[in-house]
Amino acid sequence: MKIAVFASGNGSNFQVIAEQFPVEFVFSDHRDAYVLERAKNLGVASYVFELKEFDNKTAYEEAIVKLLDEHQIDLVCLAGYMKIVGPTLLAAYEGRIINIHPAYLPEFPGAHGIEDAWNAGVDQSGVTIHWVDSGVDTGKVIKQVRVPRLEGDALETFETRIHEAEYKLYPEVLESLGVERK
């Protein structure tokens, strides 16, 4: 099964995935994303398309679909990809795109799951991997794990535990979906 990882920033989840599974390429929507440096260091091909380079989001997503098709990608793994998947990409790859979200959905959807959970004062949050649909973090859950907020936690320590849970969960889910390890 051929996978591609989409990321917009740091790429720590990409690195965890690429160290354990063959990744065909990483895709980013930012030319200065650190994930591109991680990909280079791991010998993984990378591609960058920025929305501003296209006439509209449809044209942007058509270019992404062409890239995925050219590489015969079976599964797209969103890992900190901060663009909402639009109808063009979703239609072409429906049932073949997964996302990781740093909260226990349906709690705290959207771009700031960790901070939103922290600010709400909850005693636990978590990590969710789900299928991508036309909503924001509304797709069918594949697997979730709870992460406690401990007494004396600062936002940073809570965030670190969330990320540690992500690094464990994504490989488990990929393996369960039939992606073979290196």
What CATH number corresponds to the domain at position 73? 3.40.50.170
Can you tell me the mean pLDDT for 106-116? 96
Which percentage of the chain shows pLDDT scores above 70? Answer: 100
pLDDT in tens, 34-79: 999 999 999 999 999 999 999 999 999 999 999 999 999 999 999 9
Annotated binding residue at 119?
no
Annotated binding residue at 85?
yes
Tell me the pLDDT of the chain averaged across its residues: 97
pLDDT, residue 63, reads 98
136, 110 Cβ separation under 8 angstroms:
yes
Question: Active site includes 71?
Answer: no
Query: Does some domain include residue 182?
Result: no
Annotated binding residue at 162?
no
**Helical H segments across the chain, by residue range:** 12-20, 34-42, 57-70, 87-93, 113-120, 155-176
**pTM of the full structure:** 0.96
Note down the domain range covering 8: 3-176
Q: How far apart are CA 142 and CA 176, in angstroms?
A: 10
Of the residues 30, 101, 112, 130, only one is catalytic, namely 101
Annotated binding residue at 40?
no
Query: Does some domain include residue 164?
Result: yes
pLDDT, residue 140, reads 98
Q: What is the β-pairing status of strands 141-148 and 124-131?
A: antiparallel
Query: Does some domain include residue 56?
Result: yes
Query: Domain count of the chain?
Result: 1
Query: Does some domain include residue 27?
Result: yes
pLDDT, residue 114, reads 97
pLDDT, residue 126, reads 98
Query: Does some domain include residue 46?
Result: yes
